[in-house]
Amino acid sequence: MTSLTHRLMRLHAWTVQKPILALVRHTGVLRVLFTVNAVIGNKTPPGLRLKAIDLNGRPGMICGTDAPTPNGTTLYLHGGAFVIGNLRGYRHLVARLAQAAGTRGVFLDYRLAPEHPFPAALDDAEAAWRALSDDPDAGPLTLAGDSAGGNLALALLQRIIAKGLVLPHGVAVLCPVTDLRLENPSLAKNRKTDPLVSTRWGARGVAAYLAGADPAQPDASPILGDFTGGPPVLIHTDRGEVLHDDACLMADRLRHQGVDVTLTKEAGLYHVWHLNVGRTVEAGRSVAQIGAFLSDAVTRGRS
């Protein structure tokens, strides 16, 4: 059974957040509401320290605590259906994940749709990756992202492999959307059981991001990419979320290409429950697992 706090957060998602996402069509309003929700609901870790960093012209932020960082740097790409999401909503997760991994957590403020459609966000992620790869103080690199940011992390990974850039030691994606053709069965099957994600909102975000571009290309739908020779990948999903099949089919694709994949399927949680870290034991446990995975990946890469 899940904790009482988690059940209350899940109820809030179902009764407040999901209806707002479904009904509010103005992106600017949604961005304000996202920030308000973060201010009210997110738990700032003790000793949080923020330091601005330039990532080849894109703004980033180092999110950390006093914890040591022997395992290099983790680049984090946030979610939000490609149209919302900001530092205020993610600084706590980036800092706690980095603390668990023993890394320096870097949040990328990539450009959002509809003002900046595909492939602007992915181009920003590649630029940030190149900046960190050239930084002598970055140390070993790892990569993480959630939801739309999970899409960007995997799309970036296949770009890194194709272009021969510095490989991450490990990649962790949380409830990723991996197929922007929006054809996977769980989108319909779990539509009424997903406590948070409105498929109407998700489809609007994808349409704004693509702006007419073909979703059947690896930069948009990483499930179509070539990951041969890629690093270990951790994927988290909940069985009741609409993106469950995106996660599972992506894991199958990676395994077929010889990638070491760990797929964790939870039940009774909801889309990117990790954002409740500091509030619920479920989120804390999952973030600790991600941290251990990235730390182990760095250790194996060094050996």
Residues designated as active site: 147
For 191, phi then psi, to 5°, come to: -55, -40
| Token pair belonging to 195 | 């406590």
What letter represents residue 98's amino acid? A
Look at residue 237 and give its three-state secondary structure: strand
Q: Which helix (H) or strand (E) holds 263?
A: strand 261-266
Q: Which helix (H) or strand (E) holds 154?
A: helix 148-163
| Token pair belonging to 251 | 């894991």
For residues 88 and 27, give the distance between their C-alpha atoms in angstroms, rounded to a whole number: 17
Query: Is the distance from CB of 166 to CB of 91 less than 8 angstroms?
Result: no
> Which residue is listed with tokens 């021969």?
164
